[in-house]
Chains A and B, each alone.
Chain A
Amino acid sequence: MNNQAAVLLTGNHAVAWAARLARPKVAPVYPITPQTPVLELLTEFQARGEFDAEIITVESEHSVMSACIPASLAGVRVFTATASQGLLLMHELLHYAAGARAPIVMANVNRTVASPWAFWPDQTDSLAQRDTGWIQFYVESAQEALDTVLQAYRVAEQVLLPVMVNLDAFYVSHALEPVSVPAQAMVDAYLPPFDPPHRLDPARPESWGNVVSQDMYYRHRQAAEEAMARVPGLAADADREWAERSGRSWGVVERYRCDGAASVIVTLGSMCGTARDAVDALRDAGQAVGLVKLRLFRPLPVAALRAALVGVHDAIVLDRNHSPGIGGVLHQELRAALYGLPDAPHVHGLLAGVGGVNVPVDKIVSLVRACQGAPVRAESQWVR
């Protein structure tokens, strides 16, 4: 397409390009490995006069999110990016942003959380934020990262909820890939200017954050849930409308070679790329194996997951995260999502990629084979 240019980009730089194309007006930032290249490219764009946003170089991620929320409530589009400890430091403000119904879009580079210190891909950082009220996407490639940031604004501003776009450290954040960068006009047509119904404006005084009654709080949470319930449909719409312009669709829950599959791998993010190769290898060997890639994690698209896995004998969850005391977060979530489904699959939870350990194709192949027909265990299994 002539309205897109193929550029060799890392996942981080693809995110920065998406942020530039979305035309946010305020971007508070703080450096952290492996997110820093997002920040650096944005400041470079700005220095070249190509990014017309107020960049605020605050002293911590806590202040990043603290600045994002009222900026968004003042009625402008806001972008930021973080990783790992930075996301954890924001935790209080993640709840605050969602409560304020501030449609901030933030990229998070999934990195191990300390202690001990480590810098590898691991999704515990963002999965531990699942109850904060943020919409969460997990992406597999630099291209998907770019497209998802744009789609995130589209969804966020319709439901007035913040969105986190998660990309795995290094596998996605630092790997160079050819990426189609859309033309500004194409993005402008897709993302209308942000025009919220309420804003902090002295011309029409309204406030946010005052103390409320139990009943008001209850109704506020209920309204947030109603907004969340609209997200799977709106995310599918946003993806389809982007596909009409860009030719690329990513889905909300992607089914890869799932037709007639008896065993299906379920995972998030960059692991999906390796799992595709494992599925191909198993299919080549005559085994009916597929992959379900969960792109939207919050809200959890329960109906889509149940539809994707109905009739499957074994669902094999590959977790690149760890919740001590329960095991894999996706394992736990999937079991809950499938509960009560007639003939629900046997859900096998495998702690495969914790701490960024490599999970190559042949490893996934052998894990799938070991799970097929094996008794289901309640606990997640350490399978390195």
Chain B
Amino acid sequence: MDTPGLDISERPMLCAGHAACPGCIDALTVRHVLAMLGPDTVAVIPPSCMAIIAGPQPYSSLRIPVYQPTLEASAAAASGLRRALDAQGKRDTTVIVLAGDGGTYDIGFQCLSSAAERNENFIYFCLDNEGYMNTGAQKSSSTPHFAWTGSTPAGKATRKKNLIEIMAAHGVPYVASASASHLPDLRRKVAKAKALRGTRLITLLIPCLDGWGLPDDAGLAAARLAVESGAFPLVEVEDGQRYTINSTKTRPIGDYLGVQRRYRHLSAEQIAALQAEIDQGWARLQRQASLGAGPAPNEARAM
């Protein structure tokens, strides 16, 4: 497996002094994303944790230009920005979106679907912390089944929306999930996305220390447990057809649930139900992966 170095350049594009919560892997994740993309990049960042991390005016923690649109408009804004850069001959500049799951799965989904249908040329990163964490942890359609949030005090009654499959169904060139707990896989996927043209989407799991109820140093470990339990499988889908699974399911879901306060109310039956859902989802992924003639399985390794 090609394991590129994990260096963040000497002049990181996400600078020290940013406003992320201490221990949050949002900053770590974005630092590696930007290291792979390079400075010829413009970011669209809607209201989200990342918008806070980007810093208040007149400061910016990012060395690239940032346009902050309204919450529901990222993919439309990225479309307009992309076309304006194209019209100026700046076709090699990479346009990216760094949005949260609320801005992606929920309020921003209409324009994301439309941009994908037009195959607009940008990379959309969803920094998925499974809820509206920037407003104090409320439910989004990315919040998993049974999880506590401020708007689902008895636990969420329905499952997490399957963004990967929905976006893949648009037939866009590249859709993937990645996690900072598996950095070589994450960096490979960003580099792969950068080399393509058209609408590309990578959803990145960002455990929210406060919203999920994790100790300050547990973000990366929780992300790893999410991958290893199959709650957040690492996958990539090319042209909406070729599914590749990049992780293996090696743990029961209980290992992952147990470290998070948002699940501490769960009954044994609910844990069993979640395990059944994950097994069902995993089987579905394996069926998808067996259908397409994808590249050789490229299993990610935890760092």
Contact = CB atoms under 8 A, between A and B. Distances in A.
B65 A207 contact: yes
Interface string B35-63: 00001111011000001101111111011
A209 B74 CA distance: 13
Contacts of B87: 25-26, 53-54, 76
Nearest to A63: B76
A92 B59 CA distance: 26
A301 to B, nearest CB: 31
A200 B94 CA distance: 12
Given A209-B68, A210-B56, A212-B57, A71 B114 contact: no
Nearest to A55: B83
Nearest to B74: A66
A213 B111 CA distance: 30
A74 interface: yes
A59 B111 contact: yes
A59 B113 contact: yes
A70 interface: yes
Contacts of B118: 56-58
A96 interface: yes
Given A63-B111, A75-B88, A210 B66 contact: yes
B86 interface: yes
B80 A210 contact: no
A73 B59 CA distance: 19
Nearest to A200: B65
A57 B120 CA distance: 11
Contact of A216 (B52, B57, B77, B79): B57
B138 interface: no
Contacts of A62: 72-73, 76, 111
Interface in A60-117: 60, 62-64, 66-76, 78, 92-93, 96
Nearest to B67: A70
Residue among B64, B79, B93, B117 with most chain A CB within 10 A: B79
A211 interface: yes
Interface in A201-215: 201-202, 205-213
Interface residues of A, number: 41
Contact of A74 (B45, B57, B88, B115): B88
A28 B114 CA distance: 13
B69 interface: yes
B84 A71 contact: yes
Interface string B100-122: 00000000001101110110000
B85 interface: yes
Contacts of A28: 76, 79-80
B70 interface: yes
B81 interface: yes
Contacts of B39: 202
A26 B65 contact: no
A212 B80 CA distance: 24
Interface residues of B, number: 47
Contacts of A63: 73, 76, 79, 110-111, 114
B80 A68 contact: yes
Interface string A36-63: 0000000000000000011011111011
A317 B57 CA distance: 45
Given A59-B113, A202-B39, A208 B73 contact: no
A205 B64 contact: yes
B81 A70 contact: yes
Contacts of B115: 58
Contacts of A211: 51-52, 56-57
B110 to A, nearest CB: 6
B84 A25 contact: yes
A26 B83 contact: yes
A206 B69 CA distance: 15
Interface string A13-28: 0000000000001101
Residue among B56, B80, B90, B113 with most chain A CB within 10 A: B80
Contacts of A74: 81, 84-85, 88
Given A200-B42, A200-B67, A207-B67, A59 B88 contact: no
A69 B80 contact: yes
A208 B68 contact: yes
Contact of A209 (B62, B66, B113): B66
Interface of B: 39-42, 44-45, 51-52, 54-60, 62-70, 72-73, 76-81, 83-88, 90, 93, 110-111, 113-115, 117-118
18 contacts: A54-B87, A58-B111, A58-B114, A58-B115, A59-B113, A60-B110, A62-B76, A63-B114, A70-B69, A70-B77, A71-B84, A202-B64, A202-B90, A207-B54, A207-B60, A210-B54, A210-B58, A213-B57
Interface of A: 25-26, 28, 53-54, 56-60, 62-64, 66-76, 78, 92-93, 96, 200-202, 205-213, 216
Given A56-B80, A63-B111, 4 more contacts: A54-B84, A63-B73, A67-B79, A208-B67
